[in-house]
Structures are given as C-alpha cells and as structure tokens.
Amino acid sequence: MEIKREHFDLSGPLHLTTVDWTNPSHRRSVAASLVQSVYILERDRQEKRNGPHALAPPWWEFFHFKLYKHLIDEADSCIFGAIFQLTTPTTHNSPRFVIAFRGTITKGDAFTRDLELDVHIIRNGLHQTSRFETAIQAVRYVIATFGSSNVWLTGHSLGASMALQAGKSTAKTGIFLEAFLFNPPFLSAPIERIIKDTKVKHGLRFAGSVITAGLALAMKNKNRGSGVNTTFDVLSEWLPCLFVNPSDHICSEYVGYFEHRKRMEEIGAGQIERLATRHSIGGLLLNAVGGVELEEPLHLIPSANLTVNLTPATDFKDAHGIHQWWRPDLHLQSNSYKL
C-alpha cells in the first residue's frame, strides 16, 4: 500500500489534466501533490532510487513544475523540503514558485530527527531549530531573487508548522505569501474531537477564554512594552488556507478555535476572546512563574481561510494523511475568519 501511494500513476490526481488556477480545488490538489513529492524525494533518497527509478518527479512534472532546489536538514542530511518553479507562463492566480515542506516520516533514518522537530513544535521552539533556519533562508532567497508575488508556501503536519512559521515570519515584515497548510498541528486538548455536546464544548471554551484573557491582562500589566500583541495584530491581514479533518485530533481543534471566536462575538464577549485568542494558558503560566517571555504560540493565528473535510475517514491515518486533499469527491466546508 505504501509503495502504491508513492506512484503518481496509481495514487495521484490524474483527473487534473488541465489546471484551472482560479479553481480552489485545483489549487489545493496541486499544493498537496507538491508536498507529497517532498515525502517521496526523501523516500527516494533513503531507498537509493535514482534516475528512471525515482518515483518523485511525476508528482511535480505532471503540473509543469521543475525542481529548483532541495532543502536539506544539516543535522541528518534528510530532504525535508523543496522549491518548485512553474515552467509554463504564469497568470495572476498561478504560482511562480512553490516552497513545500513534508511532515514526519515514520520509516527510515529521518524519523529520529523528525520526532525531535515534533517535540520542538510542542515546546513552541520550532523557530529556533536549524531546520527552520534553512527553511526561512530559502523563503527569503526566493523573495529577494524573484519577488514575493505568486510565491506559495505549503506543507503537511510537521511541514505545515514549518510553512506556518515561515509565513508568520514574513507576514510580520509586511510580506503576505499565499499558504496552503494541510493538517497543521493545534497544541491544545482536542475538545472538538472528543466532546460531541455543543453546549459543553462552548462552556469549556468560554471558561478557557476567561481564564486566558485574565492571565494575559495580568501579564500585560506586569510586562509593559511587550510587542506580542502588536505582532499578532499585524498578522490579521494574512489569510493562510488551512485544511483540517475533524477526525484528526492533531488539527481538529482549529475548527473549534475559529468557531468559538465567532460565537464569542455573537454573545457580546468579543473583547475577551480577542485577548484570549492570541495566548495559550501554558505560555502565560510559564511567563507568570518563570518570567519567560514567549512569542505567541505558533498554532495561534488571527485570520485564515479554513476548509474542513467532512468526508468520513476510515481511520486516523486516513484523516491525517496528505492523500485526502487531492481527491475529487470530497465533502468540504469552507469559511473565512478575520480578527
């Protein structure tokens, strides 16, 4: 099954013989396929599949891209990302360059390093890793060399966090790159996945917002001059595209995160939520107890175009996998949220 999924002719979006760059489904499918190609680039490296035996090239060549550059992790020499360049004339809606990042590979010699990066995400320290430094340097190189227009960021799972961190970093400088983030990790109790009763979910989130807002207000008074709120407000103009599956506990809480903000506005508690939405209780407690100044948690963002895959998943692997996002028969629900 695994090797079948690596073959484009067996598992790729063969229905996209012509890409309409104004079609959200086509754009999503191409972005997901390029992320898949990065997974397979690393698997090709591990399995020493070269030349005609390599399985990765069809995943970008089918859409008229060329591989511009591999992104290599200096810690273990694995391929974790790639820069792709469109070889056909670009339009207003098509990308010129796509910078893609894969997620965790559970087989081969990349797993240990990937797991280490997963831990850094949990600790809100991804931006301090050498892999992210390589990633952001690649993004800055493309922008400096070719400009920022029609440059896409995309990634899956761990790679979605990498793309999100890069997108937030560039957005804080006033450069808003188009981003396609598949199954991005949300570091919170998976209320959306575990609790089915709507009133109970809203009650828990309301209580959490009140506590978080109270702690944030106390820390704001204690640490006057902090720039966290200012940088978070700058991000409100950036609208990354998030793709989540409610059956995937790793990313499902994004559904509740944005819907809860909408409900808080409707009941007149918008000010509480606007303060709470940019903080995590864990980060605030670290600040209060140890005086540790932290950036806003990576997974918290003020604005997004959120697409939820409501198609029933067979298991967690299906709900979390990149493969779901280029299927032509998905039941999707999309909404835009802006702080």
Q: What is the pLDDT of residues 147-164, one digit of tens each?
A: 999 999 999 999 999 999
Alpha-carbon distances, residue 199 vs 132, 185, 205, 210 (angstroms): 40, 25, 10, 16
Q: What is the pLDDT of residue 228?
A: 46
Alpha-carbon distances, residue 308 vs 127, 242, 243, 334, 335 (angstroms): 27, 8, 6, 6, 9
- Report d(CA 16, CA 18) in Å as an integer: 5
> pLDDT tens across 276-323, in order?
666 654 554 444 444 444 567 899 899 999 999 999 999 999 999 999
Query: Hey, is 207 helix, strand or coil?
Result: helix
Is 133 a residue whose pLDDT tops 70? yes
- 259/211: higher pLDDT: 259
Is 57 a residue whose pLDDT tops 90? yes
Is 20 a residue whose pLDDT tops 90? yes
Q: What is the pLDDT of residue 232?
A: 78
Across the beta sheet with 304-309, the strand order is 65-72, 79-86, 97-101, 151-156, 178-182, 241-244, 304-309, 332-337
Q: What is the mean pLDDT of residues 234-247?
A: 95
**pLDDT interval class at 94 (50, 70, 90):** very high
Q: What is the pLDDT of residue 284?
A: 46
pLDDT more than 70, % of the chain: 78
Q: Cβ of 77: how many Cβ atoms within 10 Å?
A: 11
Q: What is the pLDDT of residue 219?
A: 56
DSSP lists the bridge partners of residue 337 as 304
140-163: burial string, b at 16+ Cβ within 10 Å, e else: eebbeeeebebbbbbbbbbbbbbb
Q: What is the DSSP string of 299-317?
A: T--S-EEEEEE-SPPSSHH
Q: What is the pLDDT of residue 95?
A: 98
Is 225 a residue whose pLDDT tops 50? no
Is 338 a residue whose pLDDT tops 60? yes
What's the burial of 282, exposed, middle or buried (CB within 10 Å: 0-12/13-18/19+)?
middle
Q: What is the mean pLDDT of residues 40-61?
A: 97
Q: What is the mean pLDDT of residues 125-139?
A: 97
- Report d(CA 298, CA 180) in Å as an integer: 16
Q: What is the pLDDT of residue 339?
A: 82
The first and second tokens of residue 176, run together, are 């808003």
Is 335 a residue whose pLDDT tops 90? yes
Is 215 a residue whose pLDDT tops 80? no
CA triple 257-259-307, angle to 5 deg: 85
- 275/331: higher pLDDT: 331
Q: What is the pLDDT of residue 291?
A: 44
Which of 15-24, 56-65, 157-166, 190-199 is the least confident region?
A: 190-199
Dmax of the chain from CA atoms?
63
DSSP lists the bridge partners of residue 335 as 306
